[in-house]
Amino acid sequence: MKLGYILNTYPQPSHSFIRREIQALERQGFVIDRLAMRRASVGLVDPQDQAEADRTQYVLDAGSVGLLMALLGVLLRGPVRGISALVLTWRMGRVSHVGVLRHVIYLAEAAWVLRQCQRAGIAHCHAHFGTNAAAVALLCRTLGGPPFSFTTHGPEEFDAPRALSLGAKLDHAAFAVGVSQFGRSQLSRWAGFTTWERLHVVHCGIEPTKFVEPVAMPEGPVQLVSIGRFVEQKGQMVLVEAMARVRDSHPNVHLTLVGDGEMRAELETAIDRHGLTDRITLTGWVSEAEVTARLQGCHALVMPSFAEGLPMVVMEAMAAQRPVIATYVAGTPELVRDGETGWLVPAGDCTALAAAIVRVADTGITRLSTMGRAGYARVMQRHDVDTQAAKLAGLFRQSGP
């Protein structure tokens, strides 16, 4: 069975889970064409991402003329379907914050994707995120393309479900996936009751073979690591404030922030203001291998997010046998067990986050290692990428052409 994966920007440093899912499906015999709207705007430092970029077809590379010609060709060959797609485009555009014109561009992108599906013999399209990629998949289907499905991650889809026409996408899809039970419950809010049976949970996966040999926790000062885009929803600013609170009582705690983003300058300013330049290190984006090395070199991961789906880095930390400090948001409590595999704190609560950091610092390596092993067992049971890809494969086969 040949699949088309419809994506917005791919590959990206923070979306390695999509690459792993695609590769796991290919190991199960699927042939997959990567159809992304645009290239990453940041440099790709991971060789695996660079290889994926070489295998990806980029819709916007066709240019405005190419997209317009694709749209006109589809409308002339199938005027009835074209009218239906235009009406749907107008309806989605009217309620969207990006407007009708942007959705007309999505329609042209869908026409280009349809042509590629027909040329390549793609039997089913799958999109990641319920945003513009899912809109393109839906419009491609309306124009006469193959059945489609999509995976939602959150929080973007759950922040603006009406503006994204999430209900229409769900009701027209062959099936839709949430990456946690919480995510599926949010989809149920916007889908018709008859659609609920087509809503499923498929977790993002990790590759167990990359975490076979456990690495002992380091001796010496307490090393914390936090990994993610530097944006408001990830909560790094609260983490800096929490580090300021433990600076004097626990001078042996060091934090490494792995990632980059629009808030970097603000974070650097806050770190300097609190006198934490020797306690907090910013690395920028690093390769997947370096992420693993950073996790292996720490005593705990800190994920202070205000909003999430179910963070991949939490799974990776648990696979590396490291406890996790995380917030009570979305699907995270489904994986992290407070006091057993880590600590859960209320989102945005600087006092609680600082107290959790103190608990890590005051907990001996023996106990931290025991928590790490418990986390490893839990994540391997729930998030093996090949097991999760097999669930998705079954859904693709059931959906039919």
SS3 string, the chain, reads CEEEEEEEECCCHHHHHHHHHHHHHHHCCCEEEEEEEECCCCCCCCHHHHHHHHHEEEHHHHHHHHHHHHHHHHHHHCHHHHHHHHHHHHHHHHHCCCHHHHHHHHHHHHHHHHHHHHHHCCCEEEEECCCHHHHHHHHHHHCCCCCEEEEECCCHHHHCCCCCCHHHHHHHCCEEEECCHHHHHHHHHHCCHHHHHHEEECCCCECHHHHCCCCCCCCCCEEEEEECCCCHHHCHHHHHHHHHHHCCCCCCEEEEEEECCCCHHHHHHHHHHCCCCCCEEEEECCCHHHHHHHHHCCCEEEECCCCCCCCHHHHHHHHCCCCEEEECCCCHHHHCCECCCEEEECCCCHHHHHHHHHHHHHCCHHHHHHHHHHHHHHHHHHHEHHHHHHHHHHHHHHHCC
Mean pLDDT within 227-233: 93
pLDDT of residue 252: 95
Mean pLDDT estimate for the chain: 95
CATH 3.40.50.2000 in the chain, residue ranges = 2-205+384-399, 208-383
Q: Residue 29 above 80 pLDDT? A: yes
Note the pLDDT of residue 401: 60
Q: Does 2-205+384-399 carry CATH code 3.40.50.2000?
A: yes
Question: pLDDT exceeding 70 applies to what percent of the chain?
Answer: 100
Q: What is the pLDDT of residues 161-215, one digit of tens each?
A: 999 999 999 999 999 999 999 999 999 999 999 999 999 999 999 999 888 888 9
pLDDT of residue 54: 96
Its CATH class, for the domain covering 208-383, is alpha beta
Task: Quickly state the pLDDT bin for 253 (edges 50, 70, 90).
Answer: very high
Report pLDDT digits (tens) over 341-384. Answer: 999 999 999 999 999 999 999 999 999 999 999 999 999 999 99
